[in-house]
A = this chain, B = another copy of it.
């Protein structure tokens, strides 16, 4: 039978990353494409023990739970966030199926078709997809290496009258960039003045490469809460990068009025997320040295980033540049102007290496000569080979482009 889908369904994009992963499946390909943490660093034993404890307690572990999530875990998280300068209580928080669900639910309760939303360029691909599925009117705020430009933000706030500003201000996916403290203060201040909510998406913020005290600016949420007046920052985080994606637990923190409505939306969406995962995480936080583990993976990711960065620098491809990220999982590479990373990709896959063409992370005016490289998932021993393959792909691509040009000129 002919199925008549909803308008929302027509606006569901497919993920470029997902399509790339499909192409690479089963092949001998080194993938710098996915946004995956390193599996070799997962704390398997501690996680297994935690699930065992969670399922050794009373039978209520297997019963329906609260839509808002397992209270002891919310309390532990609230204490942890408070320690990070984001003063919250358990009732200001909802646990979600990864922070992706937090993003989806927030958009559901805020956005009507045509509502304006401001984003960075480039920004998180799945955020663009979610915003698109709610038919938001997405506008870009210009940035430099310190973050969004306050002048342009104010102009956009005035002209677009947005309902939401979405950003990953710390170790941005895909660009790896981090906003300065000054910019953070300016942006929170501006949004508060224009009565616009900010969704600060912070999955990577704890994966830091610089261990000196005060090396990083506070989160927007911390700045927001330390100021006077009502809060305008909604904050989402996840265990996916600091424990493992499989534990499938994120959180969203915001004004109580907002959290209440998100709870209603979540109840309709799935009643509640996995209680067993949440109870296991509560057990894990009791005994596992999470802070020590975060230091461990941060150091290892730092060393992997340096490895990738070194390999890239050694090639000194003409017209190519990048900045080393100060944390997180991604390195953003800008190739020489005429190169299209999307057209380069098939050559790369042919050579046995994959990446994500940068253009998919833009809602408008994509920079086609960019690519996102993940450095956390590929074993260090393979990094050199990965870049060698990329090098070979670039050479074959260039020859092929030249040939194409010659043929078209000869016509």
Q: Which of A146-154, A261-269, A360-368 contacts B (4 or more CB under 8 A)?
A: A261-269
Are A101 and B270 neighbours in the complex by a CB distance under 8 Å? yes
Specify which of A47, A112, A271 lies most central, judged by the most chain B CB atoms within 10 Å of its CB: A271
Pick from A213-221, A244-252, A348-356 the stretch touching chain B.
A244-252
Distance of A1 Cα from B164 Cα, bound (Å): 13
Verify A1–B261 contact, CB threshold 8 A.
Answer: no
- Tell me which residues across on chain B come within 8 A of A63, comparing CB atoms: 36-37, 39, 42, 244-246
Q: How far is the CA of A247 from the CA of B276 in the complex (A)?
A: 7
> By the criterion of a CB under 8 Å from any partner CB, how many residues of chain A are at the interface?
82
Considering the complex, which residues of chain A in the window 192-214 have a beta carbon less than 8 Å from any beta carbon of chain B? 192, 195, 197
Return the CB mask of A164-192 against B: 1 if under 8 Å, else 0. Answer: 00000000000000000000000000001
Name the residue on B nearest A264 (C-beta): B12
A268 partner residues in chain B, CB cutoff 8 A: 12, 100, 104, 126, 129-130, 133
Considering the complex, give the chain B residue whose CB is closest to the CB of A194.
Answer: B1
Contacts of A130 in B (CB 8 A): 268
Within 8 A of B (CB), among A50-69: 51-52, 55-56, 59-65, 67
Looking at A3-11, A379-387, A398-406, the stretch in contact with chain B turns out to be A3-11
Q: Is B55's CB under 8 angstroms from A42's CB? A: no
Q: Does A109 contact B (CB under 8 A)?
A: yes
Residue of B nearest to A271 (CB): B100
Instruction: Report which of B100, B108, B271, B277 forms a contact with A274, defined as CB distance below 8 A.
Output: B277
Q: Which of A216-235 touch B at CB < 8 Å?
A: 230-232
User: In the complex the two chains form, what is the Cα distance from A131 to B115 in whole Å?
Assistant: 23
Are B1 and A195 in contact, with the CB atoms below 8 A?
yes
Q: Are the C-beta atoms of A112 and B42 separated by less than 8 Å?
A: no
A8 touches B109 (CB 8 A): yes
Tell yes or no: A14 within 8 A of B by CB: yes
Among candidates B3, B112, B232, residue contacting A197 with C-beta atoms closer than 8 Å: B3
Task: State which residues 63-78 of A face B: CB under 8 Å.
Answer: 63-65, 67
- Chain B hits for A27, CB < 8 A: none
How far does the alpha carbon of A34 sit from the alpha carbon of B67 in the complex, in Å? 14
Q: Give complex CA distance A232, B4 in Å.
A: 13
Cα A5 to Cα B110 with chains together (Å):
5
| Residue numbers in B under 8 Å from A129 (CB-CB) | 267-268
Contacts of A96 in B (CB 8 A): 270
Cα-based distance from A55 to B277 in the complex (angstroms): 12
In the assembled complex, 10 residue pairs joining A and B whose CB atoms fall closer than 8 Å, in A order, are: A3-B255, A7-B112, A13-B264, A39-B63, A61-B246, A64-B245, A96-B270, A97-B274, A133-B265, A276-B277
Which residues on A are within 8 Å of B, measured CB to CB? 1-9, 12-15, 18, 34, 36-37, 39-40, 42, 44, 47-48, 51-52, 55-56, 59-65, 67, 96-98, 100-101, 104, 108-112, 115, 126, 129-130, 133-134, 163, 192, 195, 197, 230-232, 240, 244-248, 255, 257-258, 261, 264-265, 267-277
